[in-house]
A = this chain, B = another copy of it.
Amino acid sequence: MRRIITISRQFGSGGRELGKRLADHLGIAYYDREIITEIAARSGMAVQYVDSIIEHRPMLAYPITIERTFDFMADLRENPQFKVLAEQHTIIEEMARKSDCVIIGRCADYILRNENPFTVFVHADIESRMQRCRIREQGDHKLSDDELKSSILKVDKHRAKYHAFFTDRKWGERENYSLCINTTGLQIDKLSLAFAQYLKELG
Q: Which residues of A contact B (CB under 8 A)?
A: 121, 123, 125, 172-175, 177-182, 186, 190-191, 193-195, 197-203
Q: How far is the CA of A78 from the CA of B44 in the complex (A)?
A: 77
Instruction: Point out the residue from B179, B191, B197, B201 that lies within 8 Å of A182, measured CB to CB.
Output: B179
Are B174 and A186 within 8 A (Cβ)?
no
Instruction: Point out the residue from B173, B175, B181, B193 that lies within 8 Å of A179, measured CB to CB.
Output: B181
Given contacts A180-B180, A194-B198, A197-B201, 8 further A-B contacts (CB under 8 A): A172-B174, A186-B202, A190-B202, A190-B203, A194-B197, A194-B202, A197-B197, A198-B198
Q: How far is the CA of A195 from the CA of B199 in the complex (A)?
A: 9
11 contacts between A and B (CB under 8 A): A172-B174, A174-B180, A174-B182, A175-B182, A178-B182, A179-B182, A193-B201, A194-B198, A194-B199, A195-B198, A197-B201
Residues of B within 8 A of A173 (CB): 174
A190 nearest CB neighbor, chain B only: B202
| Shortest CB distance A161–B (Å) | 19
Are B175 and A123 within 8 A (Cβ)?
yes
Q: How far is the CA of A198 from the CA of B172 in the complex (A)?
A: 22
A180 nearest CB neighbor, chain B only: B180
Are B180 and A177 within 8 A (Cβ)?
yes
Q: How far is the CA of A173 from the CA of B125 in the complex (A)?
A: 13
| Shortest CB distance A182–B (Å) | 5
Residues of B within 8 A of A181 (CB): 179
Residues of B within 8 A of A198 (CB): 194-195, 197-198
Q: How far is the CA of A178 from the CA of B186 in the complex (A)?
A: 10
Asked, given contacts A195-B198, A197-B201, whether A177 binds B182 with beta carbons under 8 Å apart, the answer is: yes
| Shortest CB distance A29–B (Å) | 22
Q: How far is the CA of A172 from the CA of B175 in the complex (A)?
A: 10
